Amino acid sequence: MKQIRLFVIVFMVLFTNPTFAQITSPAMIEYLNQKRAESPFTGHYTLKETEAAYCMMNDSVVLDECKIRVEYAAKIVLDTVANFKCNDVVVVDIGNSVQKFYSYIWWRRNMNYTLFELKLEDEQVGIPKSKFQPAIDYAIFRDLQKRKLISHHQLYGSKKQIFEYEEDFPQFEWQLSADTITIQGYVCQKAEADFRGRRWTVWFTPEIPIDGGLWKFNGLPGLILRAYDTSEHFYFDLQSISHPQQTGICLYKNKTKRMTRDKYRELEHKIFQAPFSPYDGIAVMNRETGKHEWLPADWSMPYNPIERE
Amino acid sequence: MRIYLLLLFVLGTVLNASAQVIISGETRDAKSKQGVAGVNVMLQDVQRRVMYGYSISNDKGEYSITYKGQADSLQVVVTGFNIKQQSHLIVARTQRIDFNIEYEEMKIREVTVLAKSVERQSDTIVYNVSSYANVTDRSIGDVLRKMPGISVATSGEVKYNGLAINKFYVEGMDMLEGRYGIATNNIQAKDIARVELYENHQPIKALKDLVDSDRAAINLRLKDSAKGAWNGTIQAGAGYKPWMWNGEASIMFFGRKFQTLNVYKTNNAGNDVARELTSFYGGFGSSSSMLGVHFPTTPNLAESRFLNNKIHTVSTNAITKLNDDLELTVNAHYAHDYQTAEGESRTIYYLPDNQLMTINERTTSSRKYDQTEASLQLRANTNKYYLREQLSFNGRWDDDSGIVNSNDEITNQYLKQPRISARNLFSYVRRWERWSLSVDSDTDYNNQQARLRILPMLYDDVIDTSEEYPNAEQTMYSQHFRSSNSISTAYTVSRWSFMLSARLNADIENMESELMAMSDSYATLAAGDQMKNDINWQRYDLILSPTIRYSAGDKLSANIGMPVDLFAISSKDYVRKDNLRRNNVALQPFVSLNATLLPELKFTGRASYFENYGGLYDSYAGYIMSDYRVISNRVSEQSKIARQSYSASLSYGSTLRALFGSINASYWRQKSNLMYGVTYEGSLSRTTATLMDNYSSGYNIGGTLSKRFDAIASTFSLSGVYTNSSTEVLRQEVLMPLQSEMTTLGASVNTRFSKALRLNYTADYVSSRSRVDDRSLSPIERVQQTATLDLIIRNKLICRVGGEHYFNSAIGGDDRNMFFLDAGITYKSKRVDYVLDMRNLMDVSSFSSASQSDITDYMYTYRLRPASVMFTVKFSLR
């Protein structure tokens, strides 16, 4: 749609319903800011980073000691129409009883907001925009004892608030293939499975007998070093494996709203479908004319979730 | 029941042997015999290449794998997180296998996918240090040189595509300003993760998109391990011939709110460590000196080949963030050096009518100086405003002496010259959406007192020397005050910006000089008026400059400006009771264009016209002896120079191809109303200015190219400049046209033959030729080649062999080609490096060279440092 080229939600009309602050996911804010840089339009009012979602990272509990850290380069298509791709770095911290999957870029962003909030961080000279954008705006904790996945999502406007849902380790019907490939010296074997609306191809190495780690993948006898869906909207590729020194797997304490996975999906879907429906519309300024233009209230955001069902 | 099941199992196995094999069983703790969950049991082929099937044991420790293949035997492999791996060769038939699980801490082979060696993120180029660094690099400066597009001059100045950088940050903070050599020479390569290069960097954020910059800036990004931790090195070394020492200590800290870098260095091994304390941004410092002891010309060799020194330097620098916006910087530097030099020279002056004049000199001289500089700076740099207040003090005390033997006449010279200066810099910029306002002020005061004694004075025709007063003393005092203050405002509407600035300059100088006859007990006779100056010189400028800027996003920006300089000059000569006053207008229009043709290709063009009027030292009636055989005055009208210049350059930086390059061309033409002529009376020269319009012009074309090949870890660079200039010179009151051409070519290669063998090679070629008055002077060609070969054994032991070759076509005989050989061995342990350096193994004792300038030929010989050996131990604190 042409409106996709228009960018940011400009005027939060004054008399809005404060509970509907969760307009969109932080990744989308990033996306929109990116779009703004490309489009001929500029906002009269730009979203300050601190207005996006963030959680505080000053209060945390260490769940486990991180024995192994795996980093993946993630390339994620947020907008399938414009084929807009994000570069993220995702991390898997592996402990004896807990694993945590999260975006390093998003972690850093939260950390910056926290430092900013606590007045510990200040602006630095001439630092350019990073080529990385956080596309994974959630963390997944894996409780190996209870065999549960706990997802922590952040949504726009949900300052210092987490949306949490829990689920059992999902079942993947992996089909092994005899294809092998060497990634960074590790011999990997190919496996494929359908999961929640996407067909995934993964390359795992039996040389590192760790199950899980990456995202919600589960049930393989080795660490996944590369994973992608058939459309390649989501592509994870090994960046590094290391034994970090004295690193904890942290849970950052924030106000947490617990719900079921279905409820959460409903909420997220609703937001992407009609983010501005409670408003009269959204004003954007056309950089060419210098005049304001209005986006219709039924404008919907590009939505390309990793789980389609 | 159990037996039944087992029977069924066996039966099933027999019946389905060819079709389906089921391997099942339990995984039990070897000690407690309890079932272990989450254990991987895998069926692989015998070579363990492909996995046929696997099972992950459940809560009770049970597993079951179905195999449908044809293989006769299989490998069963048991693995798991923190579980000791076991594998068994089995026959491919349905069976039950239980495993006893033992534990062990899991160890993986750490891997990191190497980041690309160079990447572009819009106007930022990111170099990943790990792709360039190796064990032979000592400091980050060694690594910078290998990055394509970046070059580091011998002085330490960093250039990008041939243009000097305008800022050097460490973690985004500018602690050292122009003295970034302290950072490039002392920060260890292993502490840096990335080097970021910002193209077209405007350091004042509030002036972004308002004032263009064609310069790049560099930002060092530290590894996490080097951030927020004290770090440093201590180095001590000793060597022979002559007895030598070499010591260094550095301590540094780079945190988010505070950074500091402190260095102490000393040596007498020919390493001029004061060089890293010089600012590459120039501008400020002690005014240059007119008087001097005669020094032999230094050879065109690496300094450590000839410099005889005893140097100590201290530099301490710190920057701290006072609050969100404000940072405070403190810098203090001190250097003390004692240098000696020895050389012989022959100077040939081409005089009109094909006459030649030859001067032979044998020179021994020494230079001793103490220099200190301290500065305090407060700075805020945000998108909305910029504030800078800097106060600095600079002092230099020179104490030089020398002996010249010229055609068997011996002259002693002594120079004492203290210079002090203080400077205040203030700058404030405020930016609103459409408006901006800037206020600048730069004020400095400079005091210098020089005294040059010549024993004896050779030229008694200049001053009235007698038997009692056979010597000469030249004194010179100067007090110089400068202040430049401006206010400017800019208004932006859509793509257009309109700027207007008003600048008020004041430049006031008092200069007194006297050339006196002096007795052996340093008593002096008053000088005659002809040998005296007492001048008060004042200049006031009011510069109004309107500028219009057009910009189309990041793609294009154009500026046109018309500064008008209204100035008043007054010069009072108290000796000759002369008064000169002049009010005038000078124009300095300019046009500039910056365009981004492709993200990788940028164009800059500039045309400008400039008028300038001479200062105090362009017109003084009393003679000043600046060297034992150079005495000059400049009597003339006010000098006036009008210069037009045009330049264009293309800069290319493709990170995808790891290819960088630039092409630039410029042309200038200058008109002067004065001609400075040199007349020779014996060995004595007099410079006099004659009112005579004369023109000079020139052009040059240059280019750079550098390319990185990651696969072979090699960087190749090429550069070249051709300069052609024509001018006119006055010799013995005859005007002669002079045309000179110079071609400079350079190439450098940093490559490896294998992981253990690396080569670094540079070659420079200079060719210069000139024609004077239709007479072609003999052209001079020079070649310099340097090669070092490093043999790296187990990343611990480095054996280095280095050679240098110099060729000079102007020298006859054996010295045309000169060779030097060096060798070194370094052993690196985790924190300590042991270095054995052997220099000048062939013991070349002197250097001979020739050069051509204007219309003189100059040949000289310089005493070099002998063969030497030095052993150094270097400790790293972390």
Q: What are B694-724's pLDDT values in tens digits?
A: 899 999 999 999 999 988 889 999 999 999 9
* CB-based contact B205 A126, cutoff 8 Å: yes
Residues in A 194-223 with any Cβ partner in B closer than 8 A? 206, 208-211, 219-222
pLDDT at B619: 79
Give the H or E element holding residue B5: helix B2-15
Contacts of B485 (CB under 8 A, 6+ apart): B440, B441, B442, B443, B503, B504, B505
Contacts of A37 (CB under 8 A, 6+ apart): none
Q: Which parts of B78-180 fold into alpha helices (H)?
A: 129-132, 140-144
| Gap from B28 CA to chain A (nearest CA, Å) | 17
pLDDT at A17: 29
Average pLDDT in the B297-310 region?
86
Residue A288 has pLDDT above 60, yes or no: no
Q: Is B372 exposed, middle or buried (0-12, 13-18, 19+ CB in 10 A)?
A: middle
Chain B CB contacts of A240 below 8 Å: 110-113
Chain B CB contacts of A222 below 8 Å: 40, 79
Average pLDDT in the B337-343 region?
93
Contacts of B15 (CB under 8 A, 6+ apart): none
CA B104 to chain CA mean position, Å? 53
Average pLDDT in the B727-732 region?
76
pLDDT at B327: 94
Q: How far is CA B721 from CA B139, B607, B706, B763, in A?
A: 29, 20, 15, 14
* CB-based contact B122 A129, cutoff 8 Å: yes
Chain A residue whose CA is closest to B121: A131
| Gap from B68 CA to chain A (nearest CA, Å) | 13
Cβ–Cβ < 8 Å for B373, B332: yes
Smallest Cβ distance to B40: which of A178, A209, A243?
A209
Q: What is the pLDDT of residues B774-829, one digit of tens each?
A: 777 778 898 999 999 999 998 899 999 999 998 988 776 677 888 999 999 999 98
Distance CA B318, CA B312 (A): 20
Q: Which amino acid is at B31?
A: K
- ipTM confidence score: 0.75
Smallest Cβ distance to A126: which of B82, B83, B172?
B172
Least confident residue range of A41-55, B197-211, B365-379, B727-741: A41-55
Chain A CB contacts of B79 below 8 Å: 206, 209, 221-222
Peptide bond into B242 cis (omega under 30): yes
Structure token pair of residue A60: 């945390």
Average pLDDT of chain B to the nearest whole number: 88
Q: How confident is the model at residue A30 (pLDDT cuts 50, 70, 90)?
A: low
Q: How confident is the model at residue B226 (pLDDT cuts 50, 70, 90)?
A: confident
Polymer length in residues for chain B: 878
Determine how β-strand B435-455 pairs with β-strand B73-80: unpaired
Cβ–Cβ < 8 Å for B443, B398: no
Peptide bond into B546 cis (omega under 30): no
B309 three-state secondary structure = coil
Q: Is B794 exposed, middle or buried (0-12, 13-18, 19+ CB in 10 A)?
A: exposed
Residue from A34, A68, A122 whose CB has the most chain B CBs within 10 Å, to mutate: A122
Per the model's pLDDT, the better-predicted residue between B147 and B123 turns out to be B147
Residue A166 has pLDDT above 70, yes or no: yes
Determine how β-strand B21-29 pairs with β-strand B62-67: antiparallel
Residue B277 has pLDDT above 50, yes or no: yes
Smallest Cβ distance to B53: which of A144, A176, A180?
A176
Q: How far is CA B121 from CA A289, B538, B654, in A?
A: 29, 51, 11
* CB-based contact B169 A126, cutoff 8 Å: yes
Backbone angles phi, psi at B276, to 5 degrees: -70, -10
Q: Is A247 exposed, middle or buried (0-12, 13-18, 19+ CB in 10 A)?
A: middle
Q: Which of B221, B148, B134 is nearest to B183 (CA)?
A: B221
Q: What is the pLDDT of residues B116-130, one digit of tens each?
A: 788 877 788 989 898
Q: How confident is the model at residue B309 (pLDDT cuts 50, 70, 90)?
A: very high
Q: Which of B152, B163, B147 is nearest to B704 (CA)?
A: B163
Residue from B108, B202, B204 whose CB has the most chain A CBs within 10 Å, to mutate: B108
pLDDT at B325: 85
Chain B CB contacts of A187 below 8 Å: 49
End-to-end CA distance of chain A: 24
* 8-state DSSP, B162: T
* CB-based contact A243 B107, cutoff 8 Å: yes
Residue A38 has pLDDT above 60, yes or no: no
Per the model's pLDDT, the better-predicted residue between B666 and B21 turns out to be B666
Percent of chain B predicted with pLDDT > 90? 51
Residue A44 has pLDDT above 50, yes or no: no
Distance CA B422, CA B591 (A): 35
A186 touches chain B (CB under 8 A): yes
pLDDT at B300: 77
* CB-based contact A209 B203, cutoff 8 Å: no
pLDDT at B512: 95
Structure token pair of residue B643: 């210069």
Please, what's the b/e burial string for A159-189 (b: 16 or more CB within 10 A of its CB; e: otherwise)? bbbbbbbeeebeebebebeeeeeebbebbbb
pLDDT at B358: 84
Residue from B27, B41, B51, B322 whose CB has the most chain A CBs within 10 Å, to mutate: B51
Distance CA B14, CA A307 (A): 45
pLDDT at B174: 93
Give the H or E element holding residue B179: none
Average pLDDT in the A222-246 region?
89
Distance CA A241, CA B80 (A): 17
Q: Which of B388, B521, B412, B532 is nearest to B463 (CA)?
A: B532
Least confident residue range of A166-180, B110-124, B138-152: B110-124
Contacts of B408 (CB under 8 A, 6+ apart): none
Residues forming beta bridges with residue B771, ordered by sequence position: B739, B776
Residues forming beta bridges with residue B87, ordered by sequence position: B77
pLDDT at B465: 67
Q: How confident is the model at residue A42 (pLDDT cuts 50, 70, 90)?
A: very low
Determine how β-strand B258-267 pairs with β-strand B311-321: antiparallel
Residue B179 has pLDDT above 70, yes or no: yes
Chain B residue whose CA is closest to A186: B109
Distance CA A278, CA A291 (A): 24
| Gap from B31 CA to chain A (nearest CA, Å) | 20
Q: Which of A79, A72, A88 is nearest to A184 (CA)?
A: A72
Q: How confident is the model at residue A287 (pLDDT cuts 50, 70, 90)?
A: very low
* CB-based contact A240 B112, cutoff 8 Å: yes
Least confident residue range of A65-69, A128-132, B179-183, B860-864: A128-132
Residue B175 has pLDDT above 70, yes or no: yes
pLDDT at B728: 85
Q: Which of B714, B708, B772, B765 is nearest to B738 (CA)?
A: B772
Q: Which of B66, B73, B39, B38 is nearest to B52 (CA)?
A: B66
| Gap from A131 CA to chain B (nearest CA, Å) | 6
pLDDT at B14: 45
Q: Is B595 exposed, middle or buried (0-12, 13-18, 19+ CB in 10 A)?
A: middle
Percent of chain B predicted with pLDDT > 70? 94
- Across B494-531, where does the E strand assignment appear? 496-518
Reduce the secondary structure of B540-565 to three states and give it as a string: EEEEEEEEEEEEECCCEEEEEECCEE
Q: Is B147 exposed, middle or buried (0-12, 13-18, 19+ CB in 10 A)?
A: buried
Smallest Cβ distance to B106: which of A67, A187, A240?
A67
* CB-based contact A211 B81, cutoff 8 Å: yes
Query: Whole-structure pTM over 0.90, yes or no?
Result: no
Residue B268 has pLDDT above 60, yes or no: yes
- Across B732-816, where does the E strand assignment appear? 734-754, 757-772, 775-776, 780-793, 797-808
Q: What is the pLDDT of residues B377-402, one digit of tens each?
A: 999 998 899 999 999 999 999 999 99
Give the H or E element holding residue B573: strand B564-573
Average pLDDT of chain A to the nearest whole number: 73
Residue A140 has pLDDT above 90, yes or no: yes
pLDDT at A275: 58
End-to-end CA distance of chain B: 69
Question: In sequence order, what DSSP letters do the residues of chain A get, joined into one string?
Answer: -GGGGS-------SS--GGGG--S-HHHHHHHHHHHHHSSEE-SSPPPGGGS-----SSEEEEEEE-EEEEEEEEEEEETTTTEEEEEEEEEEE-SSEEEEEEHHHHHHHHHHHHHHTT-----TTPPPPS------EEEEEETTTTEEEEEE--TT-TTEEEEEEEEPPP---EEEEEEEEETTEEEEEEEEEETTEEEEEEEETTS-----STT----SSEEEEEEETT-SEEEEEEEEE--SSEEEEEE--EEEE--HHHHHHHHHHHHH-TTTTSS-EEEEETTT--EEEE-TT-------S---
* CB-based contact B111 A240, cutoff 8 Å: yes
pLDDT at A129: 43
Q: What is the pLDDT of residues B454-490, one digit of tens each?
A: 988 877 767 776 778 889 999 999 999 999 999 999 9
pLDDT at B283: 53
pLDDT at B364: 94
B181 three-state secondary structure = helix
Smallest Cβ distance to B50: which of A68, A189, A211?
A189
Contacts of B559 (CB under 8 A, 6+ apart): B212, B547, B548, B549, B590, B591, B592, B593
Residue B683 has pLDDT above 60, yes or no: no
Structure token pair of residue A32: 């929109």
Q: Which amino acid is at B370?
A: D
Q: What is the pLDDT of residues B482-505, one digit of tens each?
A: 999 999 999 999 889 999 999 999
* CB-based contact B83 A209, cutoff 8 Å: yes
Structure token pair of residue B53: 């099937």
Q: Which of B504, B502, B433, B516 is nearest to B474 (CA)?
A: B516
Q: How confident is the model at residue B245 (pLDDT cuts 50, 70, 90)?
A: very high
Residue B190 has pLDDT above 80, yes or no: yes
Q: How confident is the model at residue B38 (pLDDT cuts 50, 70, 90)?
A: confident
Residue A143 has pLDDT above 80, yes or no: yes
Distance CA B423, CA B446 (A): 9
Contacts of A259 (CB under 8 A, 6+ apart): A163, A164, A165, A267
